[in-house]
Amino acid sequence: MENLQKAAHDAGFDGIGVTTASPLEHMKPILEQAKDEGRYPDFVEQDVDRRINPRSVLENAVSVIAVAVAYKTVEPGPTPPLHGTVSRSAWGLDYHRELEKRMDQLIIFLKEHYHAKACAKAVDTSPLIDRAIAIESGLGIPGDNCAVYVPPFGSWVFLGEILVDAVLPLGTTSSVPTKTCVECQACIKACPTQALYAPGKIKPQRCISYLTQKSGQIPLEFREKIKNSLWGCDICQQACPQNQSAKVSRHREFRPIVGPHIPLIPLLSLSNKEFKDMFGPTSMAWRGKNTVQRNACIILGNQGHPEAVEPLRQCAASHPSDTVREAANWALRKIESRK
């Protein structure tokens, strides 16, 4: 394990855990219950058997390396007026690309030292449940806020997996305590939408992280609750006492390129090229410009500053997207109702 651990650290990982590629059978009833209760996310693989089975990504997988990369950098501070706040995970370079680069480097080592012939990378968009595999491998422990904690980095970690067709030494680099949560329920109390409704239980469709990244209109019941969130939501992680002393990341690439807070009015009139120049290197670009502009309108409505009225009027009159025009009109009505 030691040489694998060193290779992983040299490749830029802050923790790994190695487990077998056996299906995570204990997750099946949990996922099926989520389906029955309407809590199963619509943006992930719907076939539960594929989600629990690493061999749905690499047919002849024998081992799975769960990886973690720490991303806590600066403290965000409060949102200034006429700004929107971005989740820490999106401040720096796109973590999908950053993790895949590191995985490519570690795969070279696996082929040289462990006779691996086939390896596959999984970051966020694969059918697999990153958090469940991180826990299974011993890399992390679950928090009541549904995040995975990898000491000493708290829950501020990007997770992914490398599937390997070779036998690897099982174990982890983490010295993980058996318990994270102190049963304070600070995360549950802090959640603005009650998406987090019980320890370890979430309704993904109510989560601000999901709502700010979905396409189309944001349901009316959530618009005020989104408050200043331009992209993602860190509230339940920020509220956690265990996260207060989390170690800062050694990786400069996750320092803010955008955010923590972004001026909203200039966002409303960005061209496609300006949007790509500004957000292209980050993970905020994947849903496109209209989603970010829709969110900017909603925050401007929530903040209610008169300076936003004219830019919102222009947006409502001439933006090519129905969704953005609707959000701008909602924001104008909201500001008007405060007078």
C-beta closer to ligand SF4: residue 235 or 327: 235
Whether 36 is catalytic is no
C-beta closer to ligand SF4: residue 28 or 201: 201
Q: Report d(CA 50, CA 95) in Å as an integer.
A: 24
* The one catalytic residue among 94, 124, 165, 277: 124
193 binding ligand SF4? (CB under 6 A): yes
C-beta closer to ligand SF4: residue 210 or 254: 210
Q: Which of residues 53-72 bind ligand SF4 (CB under 6 A)?
A: none
302 binding ligand SF4? (CB under 6 A): no
* Contact stretch for ligand SF4 (CB under 6 A) within 109-117, 133-141, 206-214, 327-335: 206-214
DSSP state of 201: E
| Nearest distance from C-beta of residue 117 to ligand SF4, angstroms | 40
86 binding ligand SF4? (CB under 6 A): no
236 binding ligand SF4? (CB under 6 A): yes
C-beta closer to ligand SF4: residue 140 or 232: 232
Candidate residues 24, 181, 202, 258; the one interacting with ligand SF4 per rule CB under 6 A: 202
The tokens of 309 are what?
């009225």
Residue 206 near residue 193 (C-beta atoms within 8 A): yes
195 binding ligand SF4? (CB under 6 A): yes
| Nearest distance from C-beta of residue 66 to ligand SF4, angstroms | 22
Q: Report d(CA 311, CA 301) in Å as an integer.
A: 12
196 binding ligand SF4? (CB under 6 A): yes
324 binding ligand SF4? (CB under 6 A): no
Number of residues that bind ligand SF4 (CB under 6 A): 12
Q: Report d(CA 49, CA 56) in Å as an integer.
A: 9
Which residue in 178, 174, 181 sits closest to 152, CA to CA? 174
Candidate residues 85, 137, 209, 290; the one interacting with ligand SF4 per rule CB under 6 A: 209
Read off φ and ψ for residue 76, nearest 5 degrees: -70, -35
Candidate residues 66, 116, 233, 315; the one interacting with ligand SF4 per rule CB under 6 A: 233
Q: How many CA atoms lie within 13 A of 337 on its CB side?
A: 9
Q: Report d(CA 69, CA 167) in Å as an integer.
A: 23
208 binding ligand SF4? (CB under 6 A): yes
Which residue in 120, 139, 123 sits closest to 55, CA to CA? 120
Q: Provide the H-helix boundaries in the chain.
A: 2-11, 27-36, 48-52, 95-113, 130-136, 186-190, 208-211, 220-226, 235-238, 265-268, 272-279, 289-303, 309-318, 322-337
Give the binding site for ligand SF4 (CB under 6 A).
190-191, 193, 195-196, 202, 207-209, 233, 235-236
Q: Which are the catalytic amino acids?
A: 124
